[in-house]
Amino acid sequence: MKQKYVVLLDNETGKLAIQEYAELDKEMLSLLCEETYDAAAIKAAMDKDRNALIQALRTHNMYPPGTYTERIADAIVEMFQPGANSSAELFFEERELFDPVVAAVVDEPDDDEDEDAGIEVDDLLDDDIDDDFEDKGIIKDLKNSIKISDEDPGIDDA
């Protein structure tokens, strides 16, 4: 799923807004959430440390994954620099969250080292299966936990 975050800093009103969009339809981003922050509070959290900034950005309504939040925090830090842009658009793909799966290397045994090379698949199957479950009472003692209502017509009643 594709996602986009738009970060807008309005210096006149002292507000910072983050809008979260997601691709719900093919090639069409829909607004999921918009969160508005006090720019002074965000600046104070940013001055404290990066972790405080990230915690200030996360709310009950907006809680992006860690890698997304890191990039959003970087954009916000840059926006508070003198002469910087007052808006930023960040695009994410859900695939970025997952590390590429590393294929396991399987060491194939050499033909002369293969101990099972002469064994056929049919020889691996055991014909001596203990299938006398009914004689032991295992299946007979099973209790049916589903009760059929007297009011519901059965197959024979209909």
Residue-range domain boundaries for the chain: 2-96
Distance CA 72, CA 76 (A): 6
pLDDT band at 1 (very low <50, low <70, confident <90, very high): confident
What is the three-class DSSP state of 16? Answer: strand
pLDDT at residue number 27: 83
pTM check: above 0.85: no
Nearest CA among 30, 85, 37, 86 for reference residue 58: 37
Distance CA 83, CA 63 (A): 29
φ/ψ of 133, rounded to 5, equals -65, -35
Mean pLDDT rounded to a whole number for the chain: 80
Q: What is the mean pLDDT of residues 65-92?
A: 92
φ/ψ of 37, rounded to 5, equals -125, 155
Residues 6+ apart with CB under 8 A from 132: none
Alpha helices in 6-132 (DSSP H): 39-48, 50-57, 66-79, 121-124
pLDDT at residue number 119: 72
Distance CA 32, CA 7 (A): 14
Q: What is the mean pLDDT of residues 103-116?
A: 51
Token pair 């907006």: residue:
62
